[in-house]
Amino acid sequence: MKPFLLSLSASLFASLSACSTCTTAPPALAGETRRLVNTDERGVALEGHDAVAFFTVGKPVKGSASYSARHEGATYWFSSAQNLAAFEAEPARYAPAFGGYCGYAASIERVSPVDVNFFEILDGRLVLQHNQRAWDKWHADLAGNLVKADANWPALVAEHGRGEKTLVNVDDDGVALEGHDPVSYFTEHYPVKGRPEIYSTYNGAIYRFASQEHRAAFESDPAQYAPAYGGFCGYAASINKVSPVNIHIFQVLDGRLVLQHTPEAYALFNADVPGNSARADANWPGLVACKGS
């Protein structure tokens, strides 16, 4: 798609400012799997510390939003690209046990926050505790308490967990991309209307396709074809907002379908593609946590 050459107007900023920050959620559908992960208000686990560093350097190390990954509904930050790659290769290995909540609390059928300085690696799992008192009680019967915590955890998730939040731009019928075929953006390089009888679901949204071949391609790798930022405006995400899109204003960047709200948004996003992409990626988990359902 050719870049738009135009002067910027105040209309873009008016339209973006009309989008609320955290008061009214845009169209979204909730996932069905219940999760219980200890995260902050941004949806970040381990207070932003690098999960891999607990294993490799034996201490909590602050991560950066520049190196982030999603797992079990939470965002994890890392201190290096190498640690990010290690986590993405084996997230279950590095993600903390008991959702990053206190191991001792789980052993007595409770959920409690943690101090990341009270941790240990047990049978290859990162286990954290609430404080020194919890640490001492946990270690009074380490083997027994670990068994109790493991036995109690499923019921704690069932009681305290919730479905993983999603934030997808859909219409009143739950259809994404206004019914256009996501695969067509990659193959025909323009949006093609999908057929209602040829459809698939992903992240709670319905996607329609122009052909069975496109549906099969999507289902073989839905993360490749589903639009970035839930099908909301890429530029808006880069300034920590959520905005609808014009499905004809798009581009494929690093294999991802990115849509924009207006020609102005397209121009602003493309004024600094690497920077705006990084900012949108860093902001998106927080927007999902704030506006998703």
pLDDT value at position 72? Answer: 84
* pLDDT tens-digit series, residues 233-275: 999 999 999 999 999 999 999 999 999 999 999 999 999 999 9
Read off the pLDDT band of 5 (50, 70, 90): very low
Torsion sign over Cα 171, 172, 175, 179: negative
Give the C-alpha distances (Å, rounded to integers) separating 155 from 33, 145, 158, 195, 269: 14, 16, 5, 43, 45
189, pLDDT greater than 90: yes
Instruction: Classify residue 131 as exposed, middle or buried by CB count within 10 Å of its CB (0-12, 13-18, 19+).
Output: middle
- For residue 88 the two structure tokens come to 């993405």
28, pLDDT greater than 80: no
Q: Give the contacts of 255 (CB within 8 A, at least 6 positions apart).
A: 224
Question: Any idea where the domains of the chain sit in the sequence?
Answer: 1-31+165-169+227-293, 34-162, 172-224
Read off the pLDDT band of 40 (50, 70, 90): confident
pTM equals 0.55
User: How confident is the prediction for the chain on average, in pLDDT?
Assistant: 88
